[in-house]
């Protein structure tokens, strides 16, 4: 398995750079396991915690990551790391995530509103409250019935 992974890194390096496949091998690493990512949610560096949350929230959120994410977001101080955790929890679709996401929807911070909107979108898709092919309006959910109005600074696109 490891040999196949290294071979794919080498091919990627040849395809992308062509001239330095060895650099591709040194920059390439195996994806981390759920257990490794969960452990990194407690890292002292915010950048490492953010990468862990991003890794856990990629596609399907592993059920083993839910409780650690809930515990980590409760004490997270770094804004972008909090946003990554919020999005991962939104992707999970767990009921406990909804209140955390809803609490950030009216946040005065533009980035936090964007992350909360994205987390809500993923949560609603995951829970089946919206169909997968739903056409989200710009700046959704802001300005929609039952959600906060458009706030200053909401004219940026949510480039998912």
Angle at 57 between CA 65 and CA 145, to 5 degrees: 110
Round to whole Å and give the CA distance between 56 and 48. Answer: 12
Q: What is the mean pLDDT of residues 147-153?
A: 71
Q: Is the pLDDT of residue 131 over 50?
A: yes
Q: Domain spanning 32-160 has what CATH number?
A: 1.25.10.10
Q: What residues does each domain of the chain span?
A: 1-30, 32-160
Instruction: Report which of residues 63 and 30 the model is more confident about.
Output: 63
pTM of the model: 0.75
């Amino acid at each position: 398995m490891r040999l196949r992974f290294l071979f794919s890194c080498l091919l990627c390096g040849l395809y992308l750079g062509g001239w330095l496949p060895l650099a591709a091998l040194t920059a390439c690493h195996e994806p981390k396991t759920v257990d490794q990512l969960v452990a990194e949610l407690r890292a002292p560096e915010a950048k490492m915690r953010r990468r862990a949350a991003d890794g856990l929230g990629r596609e399907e959120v592993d059920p083993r990551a839910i409780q650690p994410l809930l515990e980590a977001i409760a004490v997270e101080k770094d804004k972008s790391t909090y946003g990554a955790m919020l999005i991962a929890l939104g992707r999970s679709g767990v009921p406990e995530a909804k209140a955390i996401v809803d609490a950030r929807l009216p946040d005065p911070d533009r980035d936090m509103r964007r992350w909360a909107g994205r987390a809500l979108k993923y949560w609603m898709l995951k829970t089946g409250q919206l169909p997968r092919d739903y056409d989200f309006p710009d700046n959704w959910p802001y300005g929609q019935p039952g959600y906060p109005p458009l706030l200053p600074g909401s004219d940026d696109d949510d480039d998912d």
